[in-house]
Structure 1
Amino acid sequence: MPGAIQSLSRAAAILRLLAGGERRLGLSEVAAGLGLAKGTAHGILRTLQQEGFVEQDPESGKYQLGAELLRLGQSYLDVHELRARALVWADDLARAAGETVYLGVLHQRGVLVVHHVFRPDDSRQVLEVGSMQPLHATALGKVLLAYDPVARGELGDGPWEPFTARTVTEPAALDAQCALVRERGWADAVEETWEGVASVAALIQDRRRNPVGAVCVSGAVETVCGPDGAVRPALVASVRTAARAISRDLGAHRF
């Protein structure tokens, strides 16, 4: 079996490097980050730029991901049946809850956000489609861990990265939480990945009752949780209703 083409592997590594940060990177930073000679990195960046996969800021000379990647990514998402079936229900959930809604699927060792509905207000928000969330510290991730053995295998043995003081990092504690998720049918995460943010999620199944993703509502702790610190029952009910509706559209029968 032929091996990987080195230039393509390097181009992919550059794209991942640019996708991993919140700022533009200069040629020296790209080369150093991947252990490449400047001439090699520049040649690959120039080719990626010509194809629209990378853009160069005219003032700083630094590089960032290009619009062509967004177009290709959108094409992938448009043929993703889960996302297509969930669009209307996710919009309705965001309006009913007054909060952000995410649709996520298992991808390698995390949760890939395949759909994001903005919180229905006038605040500044950033589209997070294509971003990754941790399995062990988010409501989306805990739902997948509870119902999908593949997700648990991807996560590994732990201990896992603590994002806040409330992040569950030990396997025994996480397994106990997953058992609770299966018992009550939903997961929550309160300030486990980001301070001041809480979320609640429920499982989406296909016609064979396989776990194919999860839907969640996310927002400020004071709006997602009640005075007792627990997730508001109305939000739990709304998320579970949306998850059931999406599952039915995918062919699932009664849960």
Structure 2
Amino acid sequence: MARNIQSLERAAAVLRLLAGGERRLGLSDIATALGLAKGTAHGILRTLQQEGFVEQDPASGRYQLGAELLRLGNSYLDVHELRARALVWTDDLARASGESAYLGVLHQQGVLIVHHVFRPDDSRQVLEVGAMQPLHSTALGKVLAAYDPVAHSELVESERGSFTVHTVTGLGRIETTLDLIRARGYATDIEETWEGVASVAAPIHDRRRMPVGAVGVTGAVERVCKESEPLPGLIASVRDCARAVSRDLGASRF
């Protein structure tokens, strides 16, 4: 069995102590409560402070939780709320389209799949929650890059690999595609990532009108497309789903 890393366990213990006790604690309080030498406790606190997880009051010298933990917590809550709000709508999208429905969010230089509804038939399928997809070639990724400045920066800086003969990797052509996505309100991936597979995706916004994710459907190109273009009814279903989730998140425009 792999051994735990002691320094990380101690850092976690410090954070739990600061979260569960008084608002601010001194170095001696923390060291005594956790059975640590003052030097060890001070080293842990200094590292946590440099990373923004802990803050020190300049007047009293006491420590409290830092703003970076709040940012990470809000990120988790945002994804959790997004998934919770999207559950019913993505189920409806899969039923209406007859294809698999996906919910994705930006994660580092890719798209993290946070919810996946199987295609409503008896075929063998694999749950893809937790899988990563590229930004530059997938419909979900292109939607995020079109509407989210952070995702756009990640796309520009990422390695844009070629997966099929249809994959676009040149930044100039990608930027033109992103302009078209913003004008249309949806993105497509027609055999750009997987041979024989096509996708359509649309953006999800929150109450601040910020893009927080994307929802889309994926299926065999012969079912999703006609004459190399996604079926209009499929596009409408995806966009309706995105609007519905956005409304549930408080986006007033929808």
What is residue 55 of structure 1 aligned with on the other side? none
Deviation at residue 77 of structure 1 after TM alignment: 8.7
What pairs with 1:154-193 in structure 2 (closer than 5 Å)?
154-157=154-157, 160-193=160-193
Change (3 A) 1:153 1:79: closer
Structure 1 or 2, whichever has the larger Rg, is 2
Provide the TM-score with structure 2 as the length reference. Answer: 0.69
Looking at structure 1, the residues matched to 215 and 90 of structure 2 have their Cα atoms a distance apart, in angstroms, of 8
Match of 1:224 in 2: 224
In structure 1, the partner of 2:138 is: 138
> What's the offset of the Cα at 1:250?
0.1
Shift of 1:156: 2.8
Structure 1 runs of 4+ off > 6 angstroms? 76-79
Which position in structure 1 is the counterpart of 2:42? none
Q: Give yes or no for contact 2:100–2:119 (8 Å, CA) kept in 1.
A: yes
Read off the aligned partner of 2:195 and give its amino acid letter: E
Matches within 5 A, 1:91-130: 91-130=91-130
Q: 1:121 to 1:177 in 2, by over 3 A?
A: same
Is the CA contact (8 Å cut-off) linking 1:78 and 1:84 kept in structure 2?
no
Contact 2:156 2:171 in 1 (8 A): no
Which digits, 9 at most, give the CA deviation of each residue in 1:201-241, with x for residues without a partner?
00000001000000001000000001x11000000000000
Query: Structure 1's 119 and 151: CA in aligned 2 closer, same or farther, altered over 3 A?
Result: same
Q: What is the DSSP-based 3-state SS (H/G/I as helix, E as strand, rest coil) of the residue aligned with 2:201?
A: strand
The SS at the match of 1:178 is helix
* Contact map agreement 1:114 1:130 (CA 8 A) in 2: yes
The root-mean-square deviation of aligned C-alpha atoms, in Å, is 2.0
Residue aligning to 1:195: 195
Counterpart-to-counterpart distance in 2, 1:134 and 1:229: 22
Q: Which amino acid aligns with 1:201?
A: A
Letter in 1 for 2:233: A
**1:246 maps to what in 2?**
245
Q: Whole-Å Cα distance in 2 between the matches of residues 246 and 150 of structure 1?
A: 21
Offset at residue 88 of structure 1 (A): 0.1
Distance 1:77 1:129, change over 3 A: farther
Q: CA deviation at 1:253?
A: 1.1
Cα shift at 1:160: 1.4
Change (3 A) 1:159 1:128: closer
Structure 2 stretches of 5 or more lacking a match? 9-75
Tell me how many residue pairs correspond in the alignment: 184
TM-score, normalised by the number of residues in structure 1: 0.69
Tell me which amino acid in the other structure corresponds to 1:254. R
How much identity, in percent, do the aligned residues show? 70
Cα offset for 1:152? Answer: 1.2
